Copies of this chain bind each other. A is one copy, B any other.
Amino acid sequence: MNAETSPLTPMLRKLGYWAEFSEEDRDALLALPHTLKSIEPQGFVVREGDKPTHSCLVLSGYLYRHKIVAHGARQIIALQMSGDLVDLQNSLLRVADHSVQALTRCEVAYIPSDAIREIAFTHPRIGMAMWYDTLVDGSMFREWIANVGRRDAKTRIAHLLCEFTLRLEAAGLAEKNSYELPMTQEQLADATGLTPVHVNRTLRALDEEGLIVRDRRSVTVDDWKRLAEAGDFQSTYLHLPEDRLGLVHS
């Protein structure tokens, strides 16, 4: 099993940030047991309260993670894209503290948690890389807290757009400054802690100020620097390696 044939290769990009893998590490990673699966939009990968036995690697499409609070309100806490190893959290900690759901149609690979534990234990370099990966996850959560806790609606939404853009570009998924934003305004609201109505108002305001251009769900960012400023966005918290940064600035 090598990089050409295994569908797990997207995992190498992210984990490779954090460790110099040996040939054997690499082979072991790509040889992880897995089952491929396609998920419909709104399909669940895990439900809060489940005891999942598998982790999930995103191969294509987008997932989102969310929690439900009293009265049924929903808070989206993260977006995941190709290469993201989601749900290490849920599956390693035995009981899922949040749900994972498909934003768009997704191709994913399910990997048994036992196999993850096993490879992390027998290949410490891989274990460390996975650990680092979850540390970055934590950093993104922290920024998300600051976003919903201390920024006003316009800044929040601009920030979310910035994060999404930059992550897409870092993963090599976005072309130029335009991309399809796969979220409804209701989902944007749940991600920012606002209401759909106010998201609508705010998107319009951003549009009118020329910070973004909308055409149905596609969003174009003409002036990245202005949007980043409006969104109080600094990319440090993404902990991207230097050679992945500055792409969008050029």
Contacts and interface: CB of A to CB of B under 8 A. Distances in A.
A124 interface: yes
A224 interface: no
A148 B134 CA distance: 22
A82 to B, nearest CB: 21
Interface residues of A, number: 51
B70 A232 contact: yes
Q: A-side binding surface: helix, strand, loop or mixed? A: helix
Given A75-B146, A93-B132, A148-B148, A232 B69 contact: yes
Interface stretch (A20-28, A137-145, A163-171, A198-206): A137-145
B127 A128 contact: yes
Given A143-B97, A149-B193, A128 B134 contact: no
A67 B120 contact: no
A223 B65 CA distance: 33
A136 interface: yes
Contacts of A67: 142-143, 145-146
Oligomer: number of copies: 2
Contact of A239 (B97, B117, B135): B97
Nearest to A120: B128
Contacts of A127: 120, 124, 127-128, 131
A155 interface: yes
A216 interface: no
A87 to B, nearest CB: 11
A118 to B, nearest CB: 11
Interface of A: 49, 65, 67, 69-70, 73-75, 77, 88-89, 92-95, 97-98, 117, 120-122, 124-125, 127-128, 130-132, 134-139, 141-146, 148-151, 155, 192-193, 232, 236-237, 239
